């Protein structure tokens, strides 16, 4: 039960972000919600690779003769995903900035010139 | 050692190199930068063509990055591939070939179209990054790299959609596109994580070999399907598509069409190669079919009422994607049942595959022609245009070719692929082909509308000094028009050499998987 706790947290974060993207009206808050979904995804992958009591996955440094290590692949995946997430968040915020210059508002109900 | 062994790597390295060198070539002036833009685009088209020829003659090509040898997929007795793998089968090679043609046409067109604007070195860099991401999605043999390339092409295309940042609408469209894409990419990542947690592999062939039908796999499949259907613009998440396509510069839209096809490629790679015959129920194929029918019908009925030329054509993209989903859905439904495949499944797949290439060519040409109209007149609204056929005869001729092809008038290529789809879907349920035909009629109606209101009618006074568009723009459009005419005039050759190998590769799950594992036996030569 307690082992599944991280997955519960990940699920709650994911749903929170998702709900935020759909229901928030402010563009900055939408950007934050996207970041929350990103964080949930990264946490999910890290949690998948965790082994109880495992050490760092570097063979020469795994001290104490313990052969139990956490999985290295998910960590590599997450590292890449974090970098990509950083880039998209930065780009998204700069879009929000320029949208504010054009529309004078951050409310999605005002940023609606394209419709139909 | 044959240099052509390294074609998959070169296909990614050349546009990446082109992207990073583009700002440097700008120091040498506009001429050098444009020459670089054209040179690299031509080079990737040649590479794509060579890759297609090679895969056609010698079967699926596996390429290992960072190993001792390019063909050593399973080093030192490993049972699963651990390195970064690229795998190109006939379907991937087909996608690469047609995307490279679309990217070349977009590049040639943009040389003249974007001349008036500053920041072109960034445009060229982003354009090649987008192309790299698109090729990467099509040749990778590894799900995590699929996600990475998906993000590369998406992030580069956000920048390109918002390139005219003095227009608020462009930013709005880019933001919408970004939300859908980012969320889609994260869903892909979660799906990859689900599959990894179960099988400890991210390699596509290795996954296809061991996968079983269970709860985790179902969840992953639903996530993949949602994400990739969103990215390729299927109803109900199609709303980013008209916005982004209409607001991006025309040359970019031409390449964006190919980028969204790469997502469609991902969807079918997952459905056919990974799950394939392991898929236990007909629910997934039927979901794809229903999404296809809805996309066709809703897309076209939204298109008929549009007044802005770019948005009208972009809504047709939604409906055309519907045709492909319908064809592939019927093919997937038949998969695993030899009689059904022979009766209608293979025809449906051929129709779907043929429609991908037809769609990319004529839709690219339509967007370029719409861009040419905008370049010449400065208007986007059809109600403001009229009588342009007198001033822009060449653009009109090229537009006519594309419009006839998309409406499916015989003998154009759109007719052939649509006929294949009608024929095969009729065998599943007649109502499907009824929808497909009604959509085709409405498509014709809306292109008659564009043609009539933009090109026909008396000459308007405000367009008295409109001139024919520059040679580079006509050149870009001609590339696609020649491709359309070729596919139209040689349908048998195209079906036998271009379409059938790709459709067979989709059904042939075993050879895709086998190519990776067989290289352990034969490969390894240092």
pLDDT reported for residue B432: 92
What residue ranges of chain B have pLDDT lower than 50? 522-526
Distance CA B137, CA B65 (A): 15
pLDDT reported for residue A61: 61
Q: Does any CB of chain A come closer than 8 Å to the CB of residue B150?
A: no
Q: Which residues pair with A26 in a beta bridge?
A: A107
Q: Do the Cβ atoms of B183 and A21 come within 8 Å?
A: yes
pLDDT reported for residue B508: 86
pLDDT reported for residue B213: 84
Distance CA B432, CA B429 (A): 6
Mutate to test the interface with B, among A95, A104, A107, A109 (most CBs of B within 10 A): A95
Distance CA B327, CA B349 (A): 6
Q: Do the Cβ atoms of B186 and A41 come within 8 Å?
A: yes
Q: Do the Cβ atoms of A48 and B173 come within 8 Å?
A: no
Spell out the domains of chain A, with CATH numbers in brackets.
2-51+70-103 (1.10.287.3510)
Distance CA B369, CA B396 (A): 8
Distance CA A109, CA B45 (A): 44
Q: Are A34 and A21 in contact (CB under 8 A)?
A: yes
Return the sign of the alpha-carbon dihedral for residues B184, B186, B190, B192: positive
Total CB pairs under 8 A between chain A and B: 92
Contacts of B172 in chain A (CB under 8 A): 99, 103, 111-114
Distance CA B139, CA B96 (A): 8
**CA dist list (Å): A76 to A45, A48, A57, A69, B464:** 10, 13, 11, 15, 61
Distance CA B463, CA B254 (A): 26
Contacts of B151 in chain A (CB under 8 A): 84, 88
Q: Would you tell me which residues 48-77 of chain A have a C-beta closer than 8 angstroms to some C-beta of chain B?
A: 48, 71, 73-74, 77
Distance CA B101, CA B99 (A): 5
Shortest CA gap B178–chain A (Å): 8
Burial class, A57, CB count within 10 angstroms (exposed 0-12 / middle 13-18 / buried 19+): middle
pLDDT reported for residue A1: 66
Distance CA B504, CA B490 (A): 20
**CA dist list (Å): B415 to B18, B240, B281, B345:** 37, 28, 32, 19
Distance CA B72, CA B517 (A): 10
pLDDT reported for residue B67: 74
Delimit the domains of chain B by residue range: 1-278+513-526, 281-489
pLDDT at A73 over 90: no
How many degrees, rounded to 5, is the angle at CA A80 between CA B257 and CA B80?
A: 90
Q: Are B275 and B221 in contact (CB under 8 A)?
A: yes
What are the backbone dihedrals phi and psi of residue A107, each rounded to the nearest 5 degrees, phi first?
Answer: -85, 130
Q: Structure tokens of B417? A: 């692929």
**Predicted structure pTM score:** 0.94
Distance CA B385, CA B383 (A): 6
Q: Does any CB of chain A come closer than 8 Å to the CB of residue B174?
A: yes
Q: Comparing C-alpha atoms, which of B216, B196, B218 is closest to residue B206?
A: B196
Among A41, A111, A116, select the one facing B190 at the smallest CB separation: A41
Mutate to test the interface with A, among B186, B238, B240 (most CBs of A within 10 A): B186
Q: Are B449 and B381 in contact (CB under 8 A)?
A: no
Return the sign of the alpha-carbon dihedral for residues B34, B38, B44, B47: negative
Q: Does any CB of chain B come closer than 8 Å to the CB of residue A45?
A: yes
Query: CB neighbours (10 Å) of residue B81?
Result: 27
Q: Do the Cβ atoms of A113 and B174 come within 8 Å?
A: no
Distance CA B204, CA B181 (A): 22
Q: Which residues pair with B143 in a beta bridge?
A: none
Among B186, B302, B305, select the one facing A38 at the smallest CB separation: B186
Q: Comparing C-alpha atoms, which of B290, B319, B308 is closest to residue B444?
A: B319
Q: Do the Cβ atoms of A116 and B305 come within 8 Å?
A: yes
Among B144, B159, B171, select the one facing A77 at the smallest CB separation: B144
3 state SS for B405-464: HHHCCCCCHHHHHHHHHHHHHHHHCHHHHHHHHHHHHHHHHHHHHHHHHHHCCCCCHHHC
Q: Are B503 and B349 in contact (CB under 8 A)?
A: yes
Q: Structure tokens of B9? A: 């790597």
Q: Are B11 and B139 in contact (CB under 8 A)?
A: yes
Does ipTM top 0.85? Answer: yes
Q: How many CA atoms lie within 13 A of B99 on its CB side?
A: 34
Contacts of B179 in chain A (CB under 8 A): 21, 30, 34
Among A41, A102, A116, select the one facing B189 at the smallest CB separation: A41
Residues in chain B: 526
Q: Structure tokens of B45? A: 């088209």
Residues in chain A: 116
Q: Are B373 and B385 in contact (CB under 8 A)?
A: yes
- CA torsion B81→A82→B160→A105, rounded to 10°? 150
Q: Would you tell me which residues 8-37 of chain A have a C-beta closer than 8 angstroms to some C-beta of chain B?
A: 14, 21, 27, 30, 34, 37
Q: Does any CB of chain A come closer than 8 Å to the CB of residue B216?
A: no
Q: Structure tokens of B93? A: 């090679």
Q: Comparing C-alpha atoms, which of B288, B3, B232, B252 is closest to residue B95?
A: B232
Q: Are B241 and B150 in contact (CB under 8 A)?
A: no
pLDDT reported for residue B2: 81
Among B155, B172, B197, select the one facing A114 at the smallest CB separation: B172
Distance CA B250, CA B369 (A): 8
Q: Do the Cβ atoms of A114 and B190 come within 8 Å?
A: no
Q: Does any CB of chain B come closer than 8 Å to the CB of residue A113?
A: yes
């Amino acid at each position: 039960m307690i082992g599944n706790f991280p997955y519960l947290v990940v699920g709650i974060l994911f749903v929170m972000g998702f709900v935020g993207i759909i229901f928030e009206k402010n563009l900055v808050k939408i950007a934050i919600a996207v970041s929350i979904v990103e964080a949930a995804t990264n946490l999910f992958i890290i949690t998948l690779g965790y082994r109880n009591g495992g050490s760092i996955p570097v063979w020469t440094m795994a001290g104490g003769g313990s052969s139990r290590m956490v999985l290295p692949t998910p960590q590599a995946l997450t590292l890449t995903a974090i970098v990509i997430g950083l880039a998209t968040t930065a780009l998204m915020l700069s879009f929000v900035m320029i949208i504010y210059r054009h529309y004078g508002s951050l409310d999605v109900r005002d940023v609606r010139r394209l419709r139909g | 050692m044959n240099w052509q062994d390294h074609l998959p790597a070169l296909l990614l390295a050349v546009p990446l190199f082109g992207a990073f060198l583009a700002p440097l070539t700008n120091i040498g002036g506009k001429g050098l930068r444009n020459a670089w833009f054209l040179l690299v685009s031509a080079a990737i088209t040649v590479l794509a063509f060579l890759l297609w020829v090679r895969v056609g003659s010698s079967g699926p090509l596996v390429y290992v990055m960072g190993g001792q040898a390019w063909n050593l997929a399973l080093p030192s007795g490993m049972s699963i591939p651990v390195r970064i793998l690229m795998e190109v089968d006939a379907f991937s090679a087909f996608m690469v070939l047609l995307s490279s043609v679309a990217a070349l046409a977009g590049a040639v067109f943009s040389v003249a179209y974007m001349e008036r604007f500053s920041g072109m070195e960034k445009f060229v860099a982003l354009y090649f990054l987008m192309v790299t991401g698109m090729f990467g999605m099509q040749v990778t043999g590894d799900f995590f790299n699929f996600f990475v390339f998906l993000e590369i092409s998406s992030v580069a295309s956000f920048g390109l959609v918002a390139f005219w940042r003095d227009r608020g609408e462009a930013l709005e469209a880019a933001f919408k596109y970004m939300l859908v894409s980012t969320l889609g990419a994260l869903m892909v990542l979660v799906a990859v994580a689900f599959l990894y947690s179960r099988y400890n592999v991210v390699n596509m062939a290795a996954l296809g070999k061991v996968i079983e039908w269970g709860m985790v796999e179902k969840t992953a499949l639903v996530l993949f399907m949602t994400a990739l259907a969103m990215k390729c613009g299927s109803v109900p998440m199609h709303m980013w598509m008209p916005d982004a396509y209409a607001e991006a510069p025309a040359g970019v839209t031409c390449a964006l069409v190919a980028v969204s096809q790469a997502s469609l490629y991902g969807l079918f790679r997952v459905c056919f190669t990974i799950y394939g015959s392991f898929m236990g129920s007909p629910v997934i194929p039927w979901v794809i079919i229903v999404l296809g029918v809805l996309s066709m019908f809703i897309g076209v009925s939204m298109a008929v009422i549009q007044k802005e030329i770019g948005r009208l054509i972009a809504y047709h993209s939604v409906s055309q994607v519907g045709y492909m989903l319908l064809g592939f859905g019927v093919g997937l439904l038949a998969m695993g049942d030899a009689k059904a495949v022979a009766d209608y499944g293979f025809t449906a797949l051929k129709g779907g595959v043929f429609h991908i290439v037809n769609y990319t060519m004529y839709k690219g040409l339509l967007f370029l022609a719409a861009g040419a109209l905008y370049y010449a007149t400065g208007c986007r609204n059809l109600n403001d245009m009229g009588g342009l056929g007198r001033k822009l005869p060449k653009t009109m001729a090229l537009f006519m070719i594309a419009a006839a092809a998309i409406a499916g008038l015989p003998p154009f290529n759109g007719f052939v692929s649509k006929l294949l789809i009608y024929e095969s879907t009729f065998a599943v349920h007649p109502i499907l082909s009824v929808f497909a035909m009604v959509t085709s009629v409405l498509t014709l109606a809306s292109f008659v509308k564009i043609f009539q209101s933009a090109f026909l009618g008396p000459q308007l006074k405000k367009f008295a000094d409109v001139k024919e568009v520059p040679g580079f723009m006509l050149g870009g459009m001609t590339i696609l028009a020649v491709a359309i005419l070729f596919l139209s005039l040689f349908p048998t050759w195209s079906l036998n050499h271009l379409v059938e190998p790709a459709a067979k590769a989709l059904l042939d799950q075993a050879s895709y998987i086998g190519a990776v594992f067989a290289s352990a036996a034969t490969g390894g030569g240092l």
